[in-house]
């Protein structure tokens, strides 16, 4: 391997042999299977080390920490003071004033009587305040979940059949809560990550359009509307319409509804199915909001813990005449702007709602349909995020397709189809990634020992007689054949070029393995096939910088011995230095 | 950015500023959307450039090339000579002698009369010889597909109802062929890659055990078997049994069966469903074998073209009383060993089968059940590849689970469940990869400017005040939150350690982006959240070596401007040199 091989880096001589002797590719000590398995399990389900605070603590302290983990209010409540309360009070009153018209409107989207919206802004925020870990989220019914629930429920029971419809709504809410708690406890929260940001943007915009169009009916549908545009005529018309389309709102606090949930019969399964979907969508919104605001204020939000809190709140809600509540984007934004400090603002809102239910609900009798419709319309307009769509278009075209798929699916077909399309395209994107990983030809940046993609760095130059290919993904069964064939295609193209230009024949193929984070049995097979093909063509296969998992498997499978472990180098530069023809840089 | 910052590499001084000025991170010129889209499409479906031979050719030449592409025999037939024929003749006669007992046995697995096995070794090999691109594959019925077909068909129609059962078998064969042609023409051949090597090993072994156990009945079930072990008694017993369990084989060449295929009615859909499954499994076996032998002899095998050939052969087969045929592993191995040169050995086998059908079939009347059973058992024992299983165990434990899942699924439940388990586990593995990518802390290898995983290279040392993290995957919606949280977790752990040891406070977080081959909108979001969190902690976010697609998107999204593009470096070493405290190496 050439004792005198040297190279110039930055104009100075570098003695390769020395470095090579010191730095062989690291083969980490063999781990025990059980340890390896535990490590994988940990990274999959417990990467955030939820129990790390419990380590090395006394039993009694662990109990306190456990209670604090379940009820974060026990933790932050100890430092609670008057100045914090003033912020929370103002924020709470502000979101309450927003909540009341929203609740009435959203209940309508879910085909429920208006008081159920108000109920859902009383109990759930109270539960969340004790269990939630976000300091900014404001809880209540939200437009998208209300619409989704309304659509799914009326597919099963006609909303005019009030008693059964409400019972199914509570059943769905119960199972939405159970779904959320289960995901949290089983630490499967990552499943909601499969609803990509792009898909959510499209889905929300589509839902907003659908809701908006539905509301235009109420907004414009006043039968005897004046054609005059002066304010007095319009007001008279509106006031007249009050006695047409007005909802009667029942006075009093949430009645119990645990006995109304279907625990047997055909509706059990239907309620379960609807609940699972609504619960997942509700989680998506709440977790996305929670993460955004946690990043702004720099505190930690435990996704799985949040799910347990949201789930518990919905289970309790389903037993107290509430339907699915979650973190509301509009309320949370207002809450944040109004200067909330802790979840106490939710408690304040909750008490305002209680007073409303006990005392002033009858006043809302005079809220005309048009007013409710305009509240809903103005709320949902905020869901259409044109800027985000433009950004998605700029960043990733496939994301944009997922976004538009979700949007048009919701607008032209149905909420469920929109969701399915979004998830489908997102999955297809993942599959594309694992099936067709990128590969690149590398060249040497002049004056350095750095090798980079020649398409990204046009001044990078190829090394005569050596082809350097980088594979940009783990090599798994889903792409192993493609990777092998793609490398051979690079080689064939290069050989044609070499022949045409009468350059040095390719004698070495260096595969830069840095991005190859893992390899499986199919991948090893493909490497073996690649090696065999190269042998026939009298080309040496050389590997550069295989990672920890890969080097393990190269040895375990005997492949390292097959090609010879002197063919495995720490860096591409080392490999090139060992094999390059002895010429000076131009 | 420190004009005087220098570092020692291999004991010599390196001037960073110089290099830095010369080599900024490459931002490739913006590609047109249509061009970008076309490139993605090409890599997904046409990465092997199937039309590259057609470029820059005259129209007449293109016609010839097109015909040669569809019928490779027109290509290799021109150089065919006597010495090649001698090899093919010997190989063809050898595989024919293997084919006849195999065909009789496998037909039995498919619950069909023995002549249908022989028919399937006559027409399909003939068609394949003209259209196939493999020089080694020998065509015929195979054990696994026969078993699968038998199982699936008898779920629908009782095999004793011969006429309808055969019609459904031809229908399934027809649609198996259509499936194969369609996959090939639409260039969706990569779909079969989703049956991983490990899954196939497990599936085959499970099928072998199932077939073996079924045959033991025939093997041991001779009612009046002697208890003496001498050869004469055993032979007498076997010869006696001849007249018990013997199949009657119809003489004559394949009758037409196109009119027997169900093109209407309820069995159309059932035949279609069975055909799709059987067609896919048949493809898997044939393509795997084809690739193995092509790599051995170093010639190209076009997967999609192969599918068209195999599909056409089965469509024609379904109209000439054949059931699903494919490349057989045992026959191909024998063919290869016997010295075949081209697909002519298939034609030779085909003619021997023709003679057999015309002349000597009645002789097989005297083949006892026990003999057929033992032929099948010995054939399927080869399907149990213990060595491959051991290798899978050594290389990848998750692959081993997929393998065992397929095995036990087939043995204890059914062929279909086994397949489902194997595909399911393989998918889960892919999901795990895209959800929980690896990350690593990097340290500097002494005496070099190379930064490597400190777990793989224990002598790599951390740089004071700087945390270097490598992310080992594209950052997509499926992992963006995990990646962000994992990086922050590395930071928190490091900060605790720094505090405990009273070392320099972390001021810079360098993310090594080399393996991050792509990023989407969710990924950009997570980077922004990471940046915000780091800002609060007064830590600078620095990126090293973002690839081509990533740097594009960092600029398109405005993220590069947000963090400042002087925070993006060509290599980790450059970034460290710019920010490291000025200390000499120990």
Q: Is B529 within 8 Å of A399 when comparing Cβ atoms?
A: no
Counted residue by residue, chain B has a size of 586
Q: How confident is the model at residue B8, as a pLDDT?
A: 38
Nearest to B430 among A429, A440, A478 (CB): A478
Alpha-carbon separation of residue B54 from B57, B60, B64 (angstroms) = 6, 11, 10
Closest-CA distance of chain A to residue B335, Å? 20
- Which of the four pLDDT bands, split at 50, 70 and 90, describes residue B30? low
| Other beta carbons within 10 Å of A195 | 24
Question: What residues in B contact A18, CB-CB < 8 Å?
Answer: 10, 447
Nearest to A115 by CA among A257, A221, A222: A257
Q: How far apart are the C-alpha atoms of B550 and B572, rounded to whole Å?
A: 16
Q: Note whether A320 and A124 are within 8 A (CB).
A: no
Nearest to B517 among A473, A524, A571 (CB): A473
Q: Give the residue, A55 or B131, on which the prediction is more confident.
A: B131
Query: Which of A477, A486, A515, A574 best tests the B interface by mutation, with the highest count of B CBs <10 A?
Result: A477
Q: How far apart are the C-alpha atoms of A477 and A479, rounded to whole Å?
A: 5
Q: Note whether B385 and B181 are within 8 A (CB).
A: no
Q: How confident is the model at residue A9, as a pLDDT?
A: 38
For B:493-522, CB contacts with A below 8 A are 514-515, 517-522
Query: Which of A406, A452, A496 best tests the B interface by mutation, with the highest count of B CBs <10 A?
Result: A452
For A:16-35, CB contacts with B below 8 A are 18-19, 22-23, 26, 28, 33
Structure tokens at B74: 């027109």
Q: Note whether B580 and B466 are within 8 A (CB).
A: yes
Residues 6 or more apart from A28 whose CB is under 8 A from it?
A548, A551, A552, B455, B456
Q: How confident is the model at residue B583, as a pLDDT?
A: 55
For B:445-464, CB contacts with A below 8 A are 445-448, 450, 452-453, 455-458
Q: Which chain A residue has its CA at the smallest distance from B552's CA? A: A395
What does the pLDDT look like over B305-341, one tens digit per residue?
899 999 999 999 999 999 999 998 888 888 988 889 9
Query: Which of B8, B23, B527 best tests the A interface by mutation, with the highest count of A CBs <10 A?
Result: B23
Q: Is A522 within 8 Å of B28 when comparing Cβ atoms?
A: no
Give residue for tokens 């409303």.
Answer: A356
Q: Note whether B569 and B575 are within 8 A (CB).
A: yes
> What burial letters (b/e) apply to B68-87, b meaning 16+ CB within 10 Å?
bbeebbeebeeeeeeeebeb
Q: Backbone dihedral region of A89: left (phi > 0), alpha (psi from -120 to 50 degrees) or beta?
A: alpha
Q: Note whether A347 and A163 are within 8 A (CB).
A: no
Nearest to B310 by CA among B460, B139, B490: B139
Closest-CA distance of chain B to residue A533, Å? 5
3-state SS, residue B229: coil
Structure tokens at A136: 């900014």
If you average pLDDT over residues B17-46, what whole number do you get?
A: 66
Q: Which of A335-344, B364-373, B410-419 has the lowest mean pLDDT?
A: B364-373
Q: Is A515 within 8 Å of B517 when comparing Cβ atoms?
A: yes
Closest-CA distance of chain B to residue A423, Å? 11
Whether residue B137 has pLDDT greater than 80: yes
Surface-to-core class of residue B335, CB atoms within 10 Å of its CB (0-12 exposed, 13-18 middle, 19+ buried): buried
Q: A103 and chain B: CB distance < 8 Å anywhere? A: no
Angle between the N-to-C axes of helices B521-536 and A197-220, in degrees from 0 to 180, rounded to the nearest 10? 100
Vertex B548, ends B543 and B553: CA angle to 5°? 70
Q: What is the pLDDT along chain A (586 residues), one digit of tens a residue?
A: 333 333 433 333 444 444 444 466 766 666 676 777 777 777 777 777 777 777 777 888 888 888 888 888 888 888 899 999 999 999 999 999 888 888 888 898 899 988 999 999 999 999 999 999 888 999 999 988 998 898 889 889 999 999 999 999 999 999 999 999 999 888 877 777 777 788 888 888 888 887 777 666 656 654 444 444 444 544 454 444 444 447 567 778 889 999 999 998 889 999 999 999 899 889 988 888 887 788 777 777 788 889 999 999 999 999 999 999 999 888 888 898 888 999 999 999 999 999 988 887 766 666 666 777 776 777 677 778 888 899 888 888 888 888 899 899 888 887 778 878 878 887 788 788 778 888 889 999 888 888 988 888 888 899 999 999 999 888 988 888 889 989 998 999 899 988 998 888 999 999 999 888 889 888 998 999 899 889 988 999 999 989 888 998 899 889 999 998 889 998 899 899 888 876 544 4
Strands B466-471 and B508-512: parallel
Nearest to A482 by CA among B187, B329, B132: B187
Q: How confident is the model at residue A123, as a pLDDT?
A: 95
Query: Which of A522, A546, A558 best tests the B interface by mutation, with the highest count of B CBs <10 A?
Result: A522
If you average pLDDT over residues B351-367, what whole number do you get?
A: 80
Q: Is B485 within 8 Å of A453 when comparing Cβ atoms?
A: no
Backbone angles phi, psi at B541, to 5 degrees: -95, 125
Q: How far apart are the C-alpha atoms of A294 and B484, rounded to whole Å?
A: 13
Nearest to A482 among B12, B190, B446 (CB): B190
Pairs from B523-527 (Cβ < 8 Å, separation ≥ 24): B523/B474, B523/B475, B523/B476, B523/B477, B523/B480, B523/B483, B524/A395, B524/B553, B524/B554, B524/B557, B524/B559, B525/A197, B525/B480, B526/B475, B526/B480, B526/B481, B526/B483, B526/B484, B527/B475, B527/B484, B527/B559
Q: Which of A164-173, A358-367, B2-11, B391-400 has the lowest mean pLDDT?
A: B2-11
What does the pLDDT look like over B71-112, one tens digit per residue?
888 888 888 999 999 999 999 999 998 888 888 888 988 999
Q: Note whether B84 and B341 are within 8 A (CB).
A: yes
Question: What residues in A contact B522, CB-CB < 8 Å?
Answer: 196-198
3-state SS, residue A355: helix
3-state SS, residue B266: helix
Question: What residues in B contact A394, CB-CB < 8 Å?
Answer: 556-557
Nearest to B26 by CA among A443, A1, A261, A210: A443
Closest-CA distance of chain A to residue B519, Å? 8
Q: Is B392 within 8 Å of A521 when comparing Cβ atoms?
A: yes
Residues 6 or more apart from A46 whose CB is under 8 A from it?
A187
Question: What residues in B contact A291, CB-CB < 8 Å?
Answer: 481, 529
Give residue for tokens 């009341």.
Answer: A100
Q: How far apart are the C-alpha atoms of B586 and B578, rounded to whole Å?
A: 19
Q: How far apart are the C-alpha atoms of A574 and B164, rounded to whole Å?
A: 68
Q: Is B435 within 8 Å of A44 when comparing Cβ atoms?
A: yes
Q: B396 and chain A: CB distance < 8 Å anywhere? A: yes
Strands A6-9 and B139-140: unpaired
If you average pLDDT over residues B343-366, what whole number do you get?
A: 85
Q: How confident is the model at residue A244, as a pLDDT?
A: 45
| Other beta carbons within 10 Å of B528 | 18
């Amino acid at each position: 391997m050439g004792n005198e091989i040297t190279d110039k880096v930055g104009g100075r001589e570098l003695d390769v042999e020395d470095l090579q002797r010191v730095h062989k590719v690291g083969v980490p000590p063999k781990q025990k299977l059980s340890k390896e398995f535990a490590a994988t399990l940990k990274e999959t389900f417990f990467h955030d080390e939820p129990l790390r605070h419990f380590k090395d603590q006394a039993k009694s302290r662990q109990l306190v920490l456990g209670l604090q983990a379940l009820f974060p209010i026990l933790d932050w409540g100890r430092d609670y003071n008057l100045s914090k309360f003033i912020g929370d009070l103002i924020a709470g009153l502000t979101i309450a004033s927003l909540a009341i018209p929203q609740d009435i409107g959203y209940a309508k989207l879910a085909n429920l009587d208006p008081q159920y919206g108000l109920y859902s802004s009383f109990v759930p925020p109270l539960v969340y305040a004790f269990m939630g870990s976000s300091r900014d989220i404001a809880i209540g019914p939200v437009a998208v979940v209300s619409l989704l629930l309304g659509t799914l429920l009326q597919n099963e029971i006609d909303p005019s059949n009030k008693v059964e419809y409400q019972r199914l709504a509570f059943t769905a809410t119960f199972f939405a809560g159970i779904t959320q708690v289960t995901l949290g406890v089983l630490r499967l929260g990552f499943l909601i990550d499969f609803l990509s940001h792009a898909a959510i943007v499209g889905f929300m915009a589509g839902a907003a359009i659908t809701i908006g169009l539905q509301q235009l009916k109420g907004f414009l549908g006043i039968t005897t509307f004046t054609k005059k545009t002066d304010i007095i005529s319009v007001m008279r018309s509106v006031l007249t319409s009050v006695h047409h389309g007005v909802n009667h709102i029942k006075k009093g606090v949430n009645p119990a509804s645990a006995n109304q949930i279907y625990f047997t019969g055909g509706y059990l399964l239907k309620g379960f199915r609807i609940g699972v979907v609504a619960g997942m969508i509700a989680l998506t919104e709440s977790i996305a909001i929670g993460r955004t605001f946690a990043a702004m204020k720099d505190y930690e939000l435990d996704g799985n813990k949040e799910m347990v809190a949201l789930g518990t709140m919905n289970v309790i809600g389903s037993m107290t005449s509430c339907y699915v509540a979650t973190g509301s984007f509009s309320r949370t934004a207002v809450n944040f702007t109004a200067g909330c400090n802790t979840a106490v603002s939710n408690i304040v809102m909750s008490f305002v709602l209680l007073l409303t239910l006990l005392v002033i609900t009858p006043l809302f009798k005079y809220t005309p349909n048009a007013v409710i419709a305009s509240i809903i319309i103005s709320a949902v307009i905020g869901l259409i995020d044109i800027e985000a769509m433009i950004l998605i278009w700029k960043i990733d075209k496939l994301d944009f397709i997922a976004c538009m798929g979700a949007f048009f699916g919701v607008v032209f077909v149905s909420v469920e189809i929109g969701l399915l399309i979004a998830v489908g395209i997102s999955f297809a994107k993942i599959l594309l990634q694992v099936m067709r990983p990128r590969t690149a030809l590398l060249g040497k940046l002049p004056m350095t020992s750095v090798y980079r993609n020649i398409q990204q760095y046009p001044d990078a130059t190829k090394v005569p007689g050596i082809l350097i290919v980088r594979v940009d993904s783990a090599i798994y069964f889903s792409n192993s054949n493609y990777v092998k064939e793609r490398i051979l295609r690079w080689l064939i193209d290069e050989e044609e070029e070499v022949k045409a230009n009468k350059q040095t024949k390719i004698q070495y193929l260096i595969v830069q393995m840095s991005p190859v984070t893992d390899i499986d049995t199919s991948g090893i097979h493909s490497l073996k096939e690649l090696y065999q093909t190269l042998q026939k063509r009298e080309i040496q296969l050389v590997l550069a910088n295989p990672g920890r998992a890969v080097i393990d498997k190269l040895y375990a499978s005997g492949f390292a011995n097959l090609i010879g472990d002197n063919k495995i180098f720490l860096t591409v530069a080392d490999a090139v230095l060992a094999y390059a023809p002895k010429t000076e840089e131009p």
